[in-house]
Structure 1
Amino acid sequence: MIRIIPAKDRHSADHGWLKPTWLFSFADYHDEDNMQFGTLRVFNDDVIAAGTGFGMHGHRDMEIVTVVLEGAVTHQDSMGNKTVINAGEVQRMSAGTGVMHSEHNRGATPLHLYQVWFPPRKTGIKPDYEQRDYSAVPRANRLLPVVSGFGHAEAMAINSDAVMSLADLEPGKSITVPLADGRGLFIYVMGGTLTVNGKPLAVHDQARISGEKEVTITGITQAKIITVEVTGV
């Protein structure tokens, strides 16, 4: 089954300093029919105004991944990390037994990022942190895994049964993803237009796929995507 969710059906808000788009239930948006997709619990497409951000707040027993698209995140946490995550970089944090952190846009222009949460495979682990620069790693017409619970060599390891990847598609080029039983695929179109098993998607559309043996993603125009392979669907 391939469920296409058009961009207009995403839940967006405007808090002035923060303009979030929540692809799953989050904060004051609650929909019992849109809580998660397999091991993908949260996918937020956020724009944060210059000079603002999230003060110190806590998490526990969640794998949290941040993908910076434009601008930079100034991050500080209770593990002692004080870092800047620039556009093209990906950060992953295992909250485990509990972590406090803050995220700010110290720049002069808006910050655009995705924040993605995965429930942990094992609870109560020691909190952990890592970030990597993927901006120069080739992803043309292939999935580049950036975080994975399945041991992908190019990816940062997460404590969850999921793998998140980035890809750039040229017009007419395809990526085929085989799916084992119980695995599903989430696709979010970052830019351009494409098809998923022949079904058209445009920018900010999403596909949630289950019960398929393989998925073929083909560029119509130049396109950018982020995918999450999940279990439990």
Structure 2
Amino acid sequence: MIEVRKFDTLGGADHGWLNAKHHFSFADYYDPARTSWGNLRVWNDDLIQPKTGFPPHPHANMEIITYVREGAISHRDNLGNSGRTEAGDVQVMSAGSGIAHSEYNLEDEATRIFQIWILPDEQGGQPQWGARPFPKGDRAGKFVALASGIDGDDALPIRARARVSGATLKAGESATYALGKDRKAYLVPATGRVEIDGQLIEARDGAAIADLDEVIVTAIEDSEVVLVDVA
């Protein structure tokens, strides 16, 4: 089963400094048919203007993965963590029992991110933050784990039996992801156009996938894709 959710059907709001699109119900956007996909709770497609961002605010009991598409995002939290994550790289915050953080675009250009929230397997725990570079060349023609709570993955750790993967595909190239019929996947091309099982998914569309042993993604044009695998 593959349900394509076209970009122009997504919820969202333009706040001037932030233009946000929501694949799932979030903030003032509510769609009872799009509240989550398995343990995937949020997928926001954010455009953040230069020298602006999210002031300090709290989170708890959520795995928050930020995939930077363009520009950079600067993180600071009340545990003393701080860092700058550039395009192509990923940061993860396990909110655990509670953390307050800010995220700003301190650059001279707009920043584009995917922010992905996954429900943790257990509540509470010590909050953590981390970031890591993931060169796009290392995921050329194949899926590479970027953030994962699955044993054996070389990725940023999260506290859920879930995986966030990325792939870069040349036009005509295919990559296969082993999913399993007991799992769900949600895929978004950051750029390009891809085809899965005869269905076309364009840049920033979402594809909700279930009941497939494997997902075969074929690029119609050069593409950068992000896939979340959850229970």
Scaled by the length of structure 2, what TM-score is found? 0.96
| 1:175-190 correspondence runs (5 A) | 175-190=175-190
2:21 aligned partner: 21
Q: Give deviations 1:2-46, integer Å, cap 9, x for gaps.
A: 111112111132111110011111111011211100111100110
SS of the residue corresponding to residue 139 of structure 2 reads coil
1:105 aligned partner: 105
2:168 aligned partner: 168
The 1:135–1:38 alpha-carbon spacing in structure 2 relative to 1, beyond 3 Å, is: same
1:197 aligned partner: 197
| 1:146-165 correspondence runs (5 A) | 146-165=146-165
Deviation at 1:136?
5.3
1: CA distance, partners of 2:61 / 2:190? 28
Give yes or no for contact 2:61–2:95 (8 Å, CA) kept in 1.
yes
Give yes or no for contact 2:143–2:176 (8 Å, CA) kept in 1.
no
The alignment covers a number of residue pairs equal to 231
Structure 2: state its 5+ residue gaps.
Answer: none
Q: Give deviations 1:32-90, integer Å, cap 9, x for gaps.
A: 21110011110011011111111110000111111111122121101111221122221
User: In the alignment, residue 216 of structure 1 is paired with which amino acid?
Assistant: I
Give yes or no for contact 1:39–1:161 (8 Å, CA) kept in 2.
no
1: CA distance, partners of 2:69 / 2:15? 20
Deviation at 1:137?
5.2
2: CA distance, partners of 1:132 / 1:154? 11
Deviates more, 1:54-63 or 1:147-156: 147-156
2: CA distance, partners of 1:229 / 1:96? 21
Is 1:219–2:219 an aligned residue pair? yes
Aligned-residue Cα RMSD (Å) equals 1.3
1: CA distance, partners of 2:205 / 2:104? 28
SS of the residue corresponding to residue 19 of structure 1 reads strand
Scaled by the length of structure 1, what TM-score is found? 0.95
Q: Give the percent of matched residue pairs that are identical in Structure 1 and Structure 2.
A: 37
Structure 1 runs of 4+ aligned residues shifted over 3 Å read none
Structure 1: state its 5+ residue gaps.
Answer: none
